[in-house]
Amino acid sequence: MNVTIKSSEEQDKMRVAGRLAADVLDMIGEHVKPGITTGELDDICHHYITEVQDAIPAPLNYRGFPKSICTSINHVVCHGIPGDRKLKTGDSINIDITVIKHGFHGDTSRMFFVGKPTVLAERLSKVAFESMWLGINEMAPGKYLGDIGNAIQKNIEKHYFSVVREYCGHGIGRGFHEDPQVLHYGEIGTGLKLTPGMAMTVEPMVNAGKPGVRLLPDGWTVVTKDHKLSAQWEHTILVTETGYEVLTLGAEDR
């Protein structure tokens, strides 16, 4: 495992990239409404990242991914490809943004609702959000990756939902996906010990039904096997001398 420790200069660049990624999510929210296509959301984000922010949308052409953002609707767990699908009232959608600025990545995602959500969709999103933060709150020098995963898993299962195990958080920096893998389940005191200067994402995928997922023939889109809803939230986190710093907070949270 090759975990990179970011210098103070590199940390500053990651703060910039993280803020820009969050700004894209702040911007796109007002466009999530009935009748818009996921392809149109992608076009808006692409223009904002490349023209307004003078940055690079990391997903575009990454290992062949054809678009600038990921849009995962309802039972899509992650990596949904934007296209012709129109959003309709009652849909829930995860929008995943990764921006490259000055050679460093900022990665974050949020859940959005199209009109009034169902009770289940709202509850599932809330549990995913709370679980992400419970995991983040475990991050500090001397803590372990297993501490993060354990906190997330316990909260999800307490609410009778399930944790997706095939996909996880990751180290991040100059690379989109670096070591270590950040599992959203685990045992306290296991795995890599955290040290200042590590940067990684925490991004639990939470299913309303069983944890099983399958990959669609497009090679990217991951869906729940039982077609029940899934939800996800994500932040990029820096481990500091005293705890952690969230690099992708939205404007309302800064």
The whole-angstrom separation of Cα 185 and Cα 230 is 16
Q: Which residues contact 51 (CB under 8 A, 6 or more apart)?
A: none
Given this model, what pLDDT does residue 181 score? 98
Give the tens place of pLDDT for each residue, 124-137: 999 999 999 999 99
Give the tens place of pLDDT for each residue, 136-195: 999 999 999 999 999 999 999 999 999 999 999 999 999 999 999 999 999 999 999 999
Question: Based on C-alpha coordinates, what's the Rg of the chain?
Answer: 17
Given this model, what pLDDT does residue 81 score? 98
Given this model, what pLDDT does residue 254 score? 83
**DSSP 3-state assignment of 235?**
strand
Give the tens place of pLDDT for each residue, 203-229: 999 999 999 999 999 999 999 999 999
pLDDT at 1 over 90: no
- Which residues are 113's β-sheet partners? 92
